[in-house]
Structure 1
Amino acid sequence: MNGKLTKEFTLKVPTQTGFNEVYIGERLGFYKEVGLNIEYTGSMSGGLLAQSVIKGDNHLFAAGHVLTISQARQAGAKIKMVLQGSQDNPEPDKIHMTYLVREDSNIRTAKDVIGKKVSIGYVGSCTELLFSEYLRQNGISKDDVTFIPMPDGQAENSLRQGIIDVAGIHNVFTLSALKRGGVRPLTETYSIGTAAGNGPASSYSARAFSEAFIRDNPDVVKAYIAATVKTQHWINKNYPEAIKIAADYLKVDPDKAAGTIFPSENGIDPEKVKFWVKLMEDNHFVEKGSVNLSEIYTNDLNPYLSGEIKETI
C-alpha cells in the first residue's frame, strides 16, 4: 500500500557509470523506505543490458530512450517502460549531448558537415538519431555524412587529432572538453529538440523492466516508481547536492561532474514518447506506423497516477 512493499525485495541494477537517480535515491534512503534493497551487478554496455534484463541477471533497465526500448523489442527483448528518466535542459552541465568541432574548424553550419566524419555512440544510438534530425532540419540527408561509432572519451581525442570532424558526446565529457579549450559547439540536443517541437523531450529517457518481471512483481514495480519519482523531484530541487552525491559515487571531482534534471510530472508523458517515435520515423530508424505505443510503455502501475500515493512531492 502507498507504494510500499510488505516484504523487502532486492532489486538488481547495473552499476552506474554516469549520473543516475538510483544511487542518489539509495543514498537518501528513498528505496529503503519502500522496501527495496539495491544490488549493483557490475557495469554493462548498453547493447547487452536488454538481454540481461530478459535473462534476469538484472531487473532494472535504467538507460537509453524510447528508441532503445523500440530496438530491444524489435530484437525480441520484451521490455517495457514504466517511468520516465531525464529531460533535456540548455544549461551546459544538464544538457543531453553536444556536437563539438575543433576551434580552428571551418564547420559552422549543417551544410559544412556534408562529406565529414561524425562520431556516434553506436549504430542506432541517440547520438546518431538526433544528429540525423539536425541534418534533416537543414535539408541534408544523413547519407551525406559518415558516422563513426566510438565511446565519448575516445571521440574527444579523435576530434583533436583530426580523425573525425564532429564529436557527438554527452554532457560530462562536453564540460571537460570545453574547459580544456580548442573545441566549440556546432549544435546541441536541446536546440535540435526545440526545432523538432519539444526541447526538453530530446533527452527523455526510459526506466523499464521486462514484461515478465512486471507481470510477476507488480508491487515491486510500484515501489520502484514511488521511490524513483520522489528521488527525481528531490534532484530537481536540490541539484547541487545531487551533483555532490553523484561525484562521490562516481569518484570524480564535483567541479567536473555533470548531471540531468527530470520532468515535473509523476508519470510517463505520452506526448514525449510520441516525440521520439516521430523522430525515429522521420529519420527512417523505423517504418512509419510500426511502433505500437502500448508495447513501449505503461502507466498502469504508477501509484501517483492511480491515486494510491496522494501526497505531493
Structure 2
Amino acid sequence: MSHSRFRRGAVRALAATAALFTLASGVVGCAGSSDTATTEDGKTVLRYQGWAGDVGFHELAEDLGYYDKIKLEWVGDTTSGPQDIQSAATGDIEFGSAFNGAVVKLNAAGAPITSVLSSYGADAGEYTGYFVLDGSPIRSARDLIGKKVGMNTLGAHHEFLVREWLAQQGLTQDEIKQVELTVVPPVNNETALREGQIDVAAINGIFRETAQERGGIRPLFTDRDLFGAFSYGTYVVRDDFLAKNKDAVADFVQGTARAIRWTQVTPREEVVARLKSIIDKRGRNESDDAIDYWRSSGIPVAGAVIQEKELQTWIDWLVRNGELDEGKLTATDLYTNEFNPYANGTFQPESGPDGEVLEGQK
C-alpha cells in the first residue's frame, strides 16, 4: 500500500523494481493456458497472489460468502503491485492489483488488461506520509534537490506521487531528476531515515503508526495532500479471460465490491477481528500484527466504483513527462464498471453490502 488488498506498508516486504515497464508488447500480451480450471461443483477457479500478513478484499469477500460462481486459489505471495499485474497479463494468475500509474504503463506497453474495480486509495484513515526528521532543514520541494527519498519500489505509487508533488510545487523536470529516489524495504525505511541514510521516507500502515508513536518525525507531505480522498489502484483482469469467463469476472467484481463496502460501513473492531480470523484460518505461518493498525479501506468511493479521473490523471502525467504519446490511451478504454453492483443499477450507489439502504452513509 500499495497496491486487491488493503494497502498497508506493514505487509509490503521487499519489492523489486518493476521490470514490466521494459517488456515489449509481444511479451506482456502472452497469456498462459487458455484452459480455465473449475471445481467439482462447477465454480471457476481464479488464481491470485497474496501478501504475507495481509488480507485482500477478495479474500474477505470469499470469507463473507459473497461469491457464487468462483473459487479463489492462492498461488503464493507477490513482491509488488507492478509484478502482480504483470503476472495477470502473462496468464500466471487471473487477476492482480497495482497503482493506476503502473496499470496505465502496462496498458501502454501493449498488455491486454482491463481494470474492473478500485483496489486501494487514500482517505481520512489510510494514507502514505513522506516523512522527514523533526530537525531536518527540509521544508519545501526545492529543499529536496540533491536529497534521497526512500520507498519500497520504483515505477509505482511512491515514485509517481513524489514526482507529482515536486511538479505541483513548481520544480522543473531537470530539478526533479536531481531528487534521488532510493529503494529501501519498508521494514528498514524508518531506521534509514533516523540514521541519516535517506532524507525522506515514504511510510504507511503499521510503520507509519509506530514511527509516529516514537516521535521525532514529521510529514513533509502526504498522498492525501495531492488529490484529497482518492482511489489510487485497481484490480485488473486479462481481456481474453474476461471475454471467455464473463460470468466469473462479474461474480468476482460484485463480491469484492460488496466486501469493500462491508469494510466501509462496518465498525473498525469488527473488521479487524474478521481479518485476523481469516489470517488464522488460512494457516500460512504469518503474523497478523499489522491488522491491529487497520484504519479504513482507503477507498473513498462506495463499493470501489472506478472514476475516470483516477486513470486519466496518470495518463496525463505520463504524457506530460514524455513517457506516453498524447492520444495513445484514453481512460475510458482502460476500465469498466459494468459488473459493479454499485454502478450498474443492482444496488443504490450508497447502499450497504447486501443492497440495504444506509442512512447517513457515503
Question: Shorter-chain-normalised TM-score: which range?
Answer: 0.7 to 0.9
Whether the aligned pair in 1 keeps the contact of 2:263 and 2:296 (CA below 8 Å) is no
Partner of 2:17: none
Residue number in structure 1 paired with 2:141:
110
Q: Quote the Cα distance in structure 2 between the aligned partners of 1:172 and 1:258.
A: 10
Q: Which residue of 2 aligns with 1:3?
A: none
- For 1:200, which of 229, 232, 235 is the aligned residue? 229
Question: For residues 51-76 of structure 1, what are the alpha-carbon distances to aligned partners after superposition, in whole Å with 9 as ceiling and x for unaligned?
Answer: 32234321111x21221212222334
1:98 maps to which of 107, 113, 129? 129
Question: TM-score if structure 2 supplies the norm length?
Answer: 0.74
Give, in whole Å, the separation in 1 of the partners of 2:198 and 2:304: 41
Specify which of 59, 71, 77 is matched with residue 94 of structure 2: 59
| 1: CA distance, partners of 2:260 / 2:181 | 34
Cα distance in 1 for partners of 2:239, 2:112 equals 6
Comparing 179-188 with 246-255, greater Cα deviation is found at: 246-255
Q: 2:324 aligns with which of 269, 286, 291?
A: 286
Q: Distance in 2 between matches of 1:128 and 1:294?
A: 24
- What does 1:1-313 align with in structure 2 at a 5 Å threshold? 7-17=42-52, 18=54, 20-31=56-67, 34-46=68-80, 47-61=82-96, 63-91=97-125, 94-95=126-127, 97-141=128-172, 142-193=176-227, 199-201=228-230, 203-240=231-268, 241-248=270-277, 249=279, 251-252=288-289, 254-262=291-299, 263-264=301-302, 267-302=305-340, 304-307=342-345, 312-313=355-356
Give the TM-score, by structure 1 length.
0.84
The alignment partner of 2:121 has SS state of coil
Change (3 A) 1:150 1:77: farther
Structure 2: tracts of 5 or more residues without a match: 1-40, 280-286, 349-353, 357-362
Q: Is the 8 A contact 1:133 1:283 kept in 2?
A: no
Deviations 1:271-304 (A, max 9, x none): 3322333344344553433323244212334455
SS in 2 for 1:23: helix
- With over 3 angstroms needed to count, the CA separation of the structure-2 counterparts of 1:172 and 1:231, relative to structure 1, is same
CA contact (8 A) 1:117 1:148 kept: yes
Change (3 A) 1:7 1:283: same
Residues 303 and 258 of structure 1, relative CA distance in 2, 3 Å threshold: closer
Report how far residue 100 of structure 1 moved. 0.8
- 1:255: how far off? 3.5
Shift of 1:175: 1.4
Between 1 and 2, higher relative CO (CA 8 Å, sep ≥ 6) is seen in 1
Cα distance in structure 1, aligned partners of 2:331 and 2:117: 14
Gap change, CA 1:151 and 1:78, over 3 Å in 2: farther
Equivalent residue pairs, number = 296
Q: What one-letter code is carried by the residue in structure 2 that aligns with 1:134? A: W
- Equivalent residue number for residue 360 of structure 2: none
2: CA distance, partners of 1:121 / 1:188: 16
Local SS of the residue matching 2:302: coil
Change (3 A) 1:257 1:306: closer
Q: Which amino acid aligns with 2:178?
A: D
Q: Give, in whole Å, the separation in 1 of the partners of 2:131 and 2:111.
A: 34
In structure 1, C-alpha distance between the alignment counterparts of 2:225 and 2:204, rounded to whole Å: 15
Residue aligned with 1:42, SS: strand
Whether the aligned pair in 2 keeps the contact of 1:66 and 1:296 (CA below 8 Å) is no
Residues 226-258 of structure 1: CA distance to partner in whole angstroms, max 9, x if unpaired? 101111111001151223333452521644345
4+ residue runs over 6 A deviation? none
CA distance in 2, matches of 1:190, 1:19: 23
Aligned partner letter, 1:23: E
Instruction: Answer whether contact 2:104 2:311 (CA < 8 A) is retained.
Output: no
Letter in 1 for 2:249: V
Task: Report if the CA contact (8 A) 2:69-2:247 is conserved.
Answer: no
Secondary structure at the aligned position of 2:124 is classed as: coil
Q: CA RMSD in A?
A: 2.5
Q: Structure 1 CA distance, aligned partners of 2:133 and 2:273?
A: 31
Separation (CA, whole Å) in 1 of partners of 2:218 and 2:339: 44
